[in-house]
Structure 1
Amino acid sequence: MEQVMNVKSLTIADYPALKKMDTGIEDDYVVRIFERLVTSDSHELFGLFQNGQMMAVGGYSLFGQNKFAMLGRLRSDRRFHMKGNATELLKPVVDQLKKDQRVRWIGANTHLGNLPARRVLEKLGIQQGTIIHYLTLKRPDLLTGHTPGPVWKPVHSLKRKRDLLTGLKENDLGTFPYECYYPFPFDEALFTDDYLQECSFFESPHQRRFVMIKNDTKKYDYSHVKYFWNDHYDQPGLFETILHHWNNNPDNVGCWIDFSDQGFKNIPELTAYDVQEPWILYGTWKKA
């Protein structure tokens, strides 16, 4: 008789079961950082088991003083695909997050073309949101069509940094790109003193625009650019400012820039960038 599947929170003792999974992912970072994930206060991993075999793995990370929970790291054993294992795994995880009084928002970020993952999220009642384009500026010598200008004025005051963010009246991006691959709703819970201190802010001469840039590591080191308008190519000095940060952080492989759908369409020439398939953010606010 077939054993019932069960979901459990993973510990370091589950590492051998994870290693036995056939996910088809070479050099899977979840395997590499497994110990850190299962011993962290802000990350949790879960496994779907049957007959002692791990059939799927996934979990969540907490951000913004534990207000935001981002689902992710979902992998399934290829030998058991098309069995609804991802939904079976994530449903109790989402149910647990719904009961967590700290968490106000539950979401996930996936490729626009990843229809199986999107179907799982819809089954879980998580709503479709913003489309985001991730581009990495790696060949500034090929950058064309932008408006040249002087490097913008750096902002050092923590109060001024916070005032710029909280005073934002429009956000064409539709999200707050907290880290590479981790956009969230624009929310002050994300703007901790430590986070703002780590971000470099630059303000335009007319003081109607600003850009945030933070060093971030996702396998490689990046200058992660956070700009909330679609007029990248019209603002004098914006790209000079972005490249100024990169020049001051030469170990970074490039400048990661989040573009909205319209912002992406406004780019006149893509050859300067590494371009990823578009992503889509899903998210649901919990009822008070």
Structure 2
Amino acid sequence: MEQVMNVQPLTHKDRPALEAMDTGIEDDYVLRIFERLIESDSHEIFGLFREGKMLAVGGYSLFGNGKFAMLGRLRSDRRMLMKGNATELLQPIVDRLFRDPQVAWVGANTHLHNLAARRVLQKLSLKEGPVLHFLTLSSPELLTDHKPGPVWEEVTSLQHKKELLNLINDPGVFPFECYYPLPYDKALFTDQYLEESSFYQKPDASRFVIVKNDTKKFDYSHVKYFWDDHYNQSGFFETILHHWKQHPNNAGCWIDFSAEGFKKIPDLSPYYVQEPWMLYGKWK
């Protein structure tokens, strides 16, 4: 007899089923923030169940007043791998998102070498996007071959911040949060987001950088820069290190490099280097 599987939003009563899954993840942050996820207005988490047992879990986060939905937090029970459970879980979630009139884009971010996850995203009809490199500058004393210079001038006016963003030609992707690159869109730049972001402009006004504190297990100074010339701009590194010094509890400066920008890094020893990631997505 065929065993029926169903996908449903998780509630407080589902915590024991989640804890019973064998995901192989030590200190899983999904368990640590479980209550926050299920009570949030901008996050949703679902489980794939069969006969009361949870086989997989995953969900999405909404950004830009609900315009962008990023899939994530996917975990499967290791005892049930290679059975299509990830697709079984995510397909109705994606279908639901595309029925939502507020959602215009659905995407996901996964390691470039995670072929299993990439196959799942392809089955969901999400399209391959750019390869991205997430590096954390944690040993700045090892920096070499960068152009030294004075700390850039901080921009405090909300209007000035908006004017700087209006000068940017669409770069395609914006590192909205650590692990969450999204299509560049003005819907992301709410007044609150801009107020919480530190803007620094080069004295000749040719460049600017945004640094926003973010927490993904650790606290980071998350650097958002629209060009691939980090090492050629005098004062760039002095500026982001200046921000870090103002927030000494941060673990380092998290910098999102494009594939082209990553190639231009002369020495990786100052950084904690993650595997490259690939962004998938689809517009309505």
TM-score range, shorter chain: over 0.9
- 1:167 is displaced (CA, Å) by 1.6
How many Å separate the matches in 1 of 2:32 and 2:231? 39
How many Å separate the matches in 2 of 1:91 and 1:211? 38
The equivalent residue for 1:185 is: 183
SS at 1:141 equivalent: helix
Structure 1 contact 133–261 (Cα < 8 Å) conserved: yes
Cα RMSD of the aligned pairs, angstroms, is 0.8
The equivalent residue for 2:106 is: 106
The equivalent residue for 1:280 is: 278
How many Å separate the matches in 1 of 2:170 and 2:64? 21
The equivalent residue for 1:9 is: 9
Equivalent pairs counted in the alignment come to 284
Unmatched runs of 5 consecutive residues or more in structure 1: none
How many Å separate the matches in 1 of 2:141 and 2:10? 47
Paired residue for 2:240, among 230, 239, 242? Answer: 242
Structure 2 contact 170–184 (Cα < 8 Å) conserved: no
- 1:170 is displaced (CA, Å) by 5.8
SS at 1:233 equivalent: helix
2:189 matched to 1:155? no
TM-score (norm 2): 0.99
The one-character-per-residue Cα deviations of 1:208-247 (angstroms, maximum 9, x if unpaired) are: 1100000111111100000010000000000000100011
- 1:2 is displaced (CA, Å) by 3.6
How many Å separate the matches in 1 of 2:52 and 2:170? 51
Structure 2 contact 47–54 (Cα < 8 Å) conserved: yes
Residues 77-96 of structure 1: pairs in structure 2 closer than 5 A: 77-96=77-96
Residues 1-288 of structure 1: pairs in structure 2 closer than 5 A: 1-169=1-169, 171=171, 174-286=172-284
Structure 1 contact 58–71 (Cα < 8 Å) conserved: yes
The one-character-per-residue Cα deviations of 1:241-278 (angstroms, maximum 9, x if unpaired) are: 01000111111110000000010000001100000000
The one-character-per-residue Cα deviations of 1:139-174 (angstroms, maximum 9, x if unpaired) are: 111000100011001000101101111220263xx4
**Does the C-alpha gap of structure 1 residues 246 and 229 become closer, same or farther in structure 2, counting only changes over 3 Å?**
same
Unmatched runs of 5 consecutive residues or more in structure 2: none
